[in-house]
Amino acid sequence: MAATIYDIAKKAGVSIATVSRVFNNSENVSDKSRKKVLAVADEVGYHPQVYAQGLASRKNNTLMIVVPVISNYFFMEILGGVQDKLSDLNYDLSIFNISPNKDLKKQVEHVLKRRWAEGYLFVSVHLKDEDWESFTKYNVPITLVDEYFEGFDSVSVDNSQGAYRAVKALYDSGHTKIAMLSAYEDSKPIKDRLRGYKKALKECGIPFNGKLIVKGDTMNRDGFTERAGYEAMKKILALKPRPDACFCASDIQAVGALKAMQDTRISIPIIGYDDIELAEYMGLSTVRQPMREMGFFATQNLIDRMNNPDKTVSQTIYTPELVTRTSISVNGRSKDT
């Protein structure tokens, strides 16, 4: 359970009245007591501003989705699954957009301290394990989507396995000089997909060449954008010798990559990652994540946690599926068009 004013008083070694005066900014409190109470409150995840505003203003059965980027295809698919689950249930849903260009940990802490919801879905919010660990003190139901931490329920995809399947498919189609159109190196999805890329190369007997890991110059949204994909593919096509195939770290980057090939009139086989709706219409081979199902199941996990705070932590990892379309082969090999 979340900490109360009584817990604060006991841990700080002061009276409840003193804690109340601190939270109400009363002048009749010593600096020593004030600092001690506020330090304990921060330690246990109690945010006095919430309580000063009155608990009655907060609704029960409210879920909040916290996401760095609202406008991307991945999130819209996840949101569809969330709404599927909530359609016949008495829960309110709100969305909070945090900035990927600012301190993510501080923004997440800001959200949790204010207790705007009874439960939280964090979608593609990638933090260090010690950061997630620090949030356990707030004692609120949390489910992670497209992220993993052993202390919280999570729903994710085996990104390493997905990348492995993509590269193996390109190799099985006769390609041996396979580039990876990457993104921000420190993002967890890229780390996992790079691991799968390397594993496939090793099994195929292809030496790893770091020069074939290429990203765009635009790092907005960690590089998972059409522009970054376009920039990266222009670099890949300029390599000497030119790669004969490419694994793209996301479908949205692959959209930009296809435009780069169109503009340069040079085409190589590519495979994307996600299977967004556009992929089918572009003929893009890709690694499918069950995004809508992930949103549905994550929401079910969160509601279960809200109703049963002591239940065993649930970690769900989906196995991605390779979807083959026309982009995997350009007459079997790289060509100028």
Same domain, 105 and 151: yes
State the CATH number of the domain containing residue 24.
Answer: 1.10.260.40
Give me the domain span that covers residue 122.
Answer: 59-156+291-318
Same domain, 85 and 24: no
Q: What is the DSSP string of 15-49?
A: -HHHHHHHHTT-SSS-HHHHHHHHHHHHHTT--HH
According to the model, what pLDDT value does residue 3 have? 65
CA angle 237, 267, 205 (to 5 degrees): 70
CB 218 within 8 A of CB 227: yes
Residue 59 has pLDDT above 50, yes or no: no
Same domain, 243 and 123: no
Same domain, 327 and 197: yes
Same domain, 274 and 196: yes
Q: Are strands 178-181 and 153-157 parallel, antiparallel or unpaired?
A: unpaired
Same domain, 40 and 185: no
Same domain, 113 and 188: no
Same domain, 98 and 34: no
Residues 195-243 have pLDDT tens digits of 999 999 999 999 999 999 999 988 777 788 899 999 999 999 999 999 9
According to the model, what pLDDT value does residue 9 have? 79
CA angle 221, 225, 230 (to 5 degrees): 140
Same domain, 332 and 261: yes
For the chain, how many structural domains are there in total? 3
According to the model, what pLDDT value does residue 266 have? 96
Same domain, 285 and 311: no
Q: Is the dihedral of CA 261, 267, 268, 273 positive or negative?
A: positive
Q: How many residues does the chain have?
A: 337
State the CATH number of the domain containing residue 106.
Answer: 3.40.50.2300
Q: Are strands 213-214 and 178-181 parallel, antiparallel or unpaired?
A: parallel
Q: What is the mean pLDDT of residues 71-81?
A: 84
Residue 98 has pLDDT above 90, yes or no: no
* Better pLDDT: 18 or 266: 266
pTM value is 0.77
